[in-house]
Structure 1
């Protein structure tokens, strides 16, 4: 059975001095506007990440007041292989080194103008995901558009939980509910 999961990150903007700024006060624009411009420009177009031999394409997205959600497809290229029919073992296609199998991944970005922190939720499929290619693509766009500010994207975790996990060996985190547990753990 295939394994799907969600990874959650915080998204912040810092000035050259390292101070975090409100997401709606970035050199006369907002993170929300920058994300919308980037996703609109990237919709349907293929972007190559040549160092990683990956492609990314914004398939669809919806924007509301502070939230973006949609589907991004990504895949690797750079090697040849055969695709077979799993029922009879016959070769159905010979993949060229320039071809990539594009897998769909869900994303959600919440970037409220009045706060200095937002949330990014990215779908994973088994050991595949879009974090590296999507976020590096977004960071590059951000650097090109806004001089003197930096986009920071980090895993979402509470400080108490981080201190607790650093005492031992963390091997996996799995979120199974749509909320934080009650009690002193958070």
Structure 2
């Protein structure tokens, strides 16, 4: 069984001056109505993103206004399910048990997988709201983020060409620092990408880059030595490549991730792009599986709980 994870981001909508606009009034509609229209419009057949060689289609969506015990509005919760997959490379489908060729897939056929996601914006009363929460479910190495980010931005621009949908930095420094202060650093994951020099290797693997990964399990005293360096980087300083020093191995990393355990929960924090610091959490043990995929109800519950946690952390509720 593949691991089921969620990745948490912030989102906003910006005008052509790169100024954030009120999410409740985007293009005179508001993000809630744009989300509903978007999901309804792609429910009948698969749409295509030629530039990314992706197809996608909505399967389910719901919008709920969440309130506290006193019936005061907390946030708008938008939850959905999208099927998406890639095309563009011909391949052979083989039965792993018999070794027999079952089907020859053309470059126009796509393998599609179902993914859940949610958007949430805090209630504000009469105040404006400029940032929301965006959570994607992943399964194994597969995700729908690229598909959604591109297609939803396309929908925003269809409504108003001067607007753009931006997915970016979520975690405040205090949030990450809390994990460094009170959590346990379980793993450091370093990844680098190297371009295949031999055209035969590129043809055999179907892409131009080779991925190499190095895992450091339960690093001893790492945070005692490197906590200040990490915080300096998060505050906009330099030194990303010096956070983990492994020059003796000749491994210059492009991607840096930390696995922190706090209580019974483990979160993966990706520091590779300061503008899009990503937080990933393995939720395999928290969802019910139906066959190879998480059930809709359990996935919705996990995302609701995660929204509550992050909204509270950033002071939105």
User: What's 1:77 paired with?
Assistant: 87
Instruction: Find the structure with the greater CA-based Rg.
Output: 2
> Equivalent residue for 2:19?
19
Query: Cα RMSD between the aligned structures?
Result: 2.5
For residues 94-127 of structure 1, give each alpha carbon's deviation from its aligned partner in whole angstroms, at most 9, with x where no partner exists: 2222211101111111134632211110012222
| Deviation, structure 1 residue 21 | 3.0
Cα deviation digits, residues 72-96 of structure 1 (max 9, x gap): 1111112222222222212222222
Alignment of 1:115-126 (within 5 A): 115-126=129-140
Within 5 Å, which residues of 2 pair with 1:34-45?
34-45=34-45
Structure 2 counterpart of 1:172, from 246, 250, 257: 257
Partner of 2:109: 99
- Provide the aligned length of Structure 1 versus Structure 2: 180
Shift of 1:40: 0.9
Gaps of 5+ in 2: 66-75, 178-229, 234-238, 245-254, 259-267, 269-280, 284-305, 311-317
| TM superposition score normalised by structure 1 | 0.83
Higher relative contact order (CA 8 A, sep 6+): 1
Counterpart among 123, 127, 138 of residue 152 in structure 2: 138
The answer (yes or no) to whether the contact 1:24–1:112 under 8 Å persists in 2 is no
Supply the distance in 2 between the matched residues of 1:165 and 1:57 (Cα, whole angstroms): 42
1:176, distance to aligned residue in structure 2 (A): 5.7
Give the structure with the higher percent helix. 2
**Secondary structure of the structure 2 residue equivalent to 1:35:** helix
* Aligned partner of 1:129 among 137, 140, 143: 143
Question: What is the TM-score of this pair, normalised by structure 2?
Answer: 0.51
The structure-2 alpha-carbon separation of the partners of 1:164 and 1:56, relative to structure 1 and needing over 3 Å to count, comes to same
SS at match of 1:52: coil
- The question of 1:88 aligning with 2:126 is answered no
- 1:22 alignment partner, SS class: coil
* Worse overlay, 77-86 or 144-153: 144-153
Counterpart CA distance in 2 for 1:106 and 1:176 is: 14
Deviation by residue 1:1-55 (Cα, 9 ceiling, x = unmatched) = 5232211111112334443332112242211111111111111321111122211
- Structure 1 unpaired stretches of 5+: 181-186
2:208 equivalent in structure 1: none
**Structure 1, 63-72 or 160-169: larger mean CA deviation:** 160-169
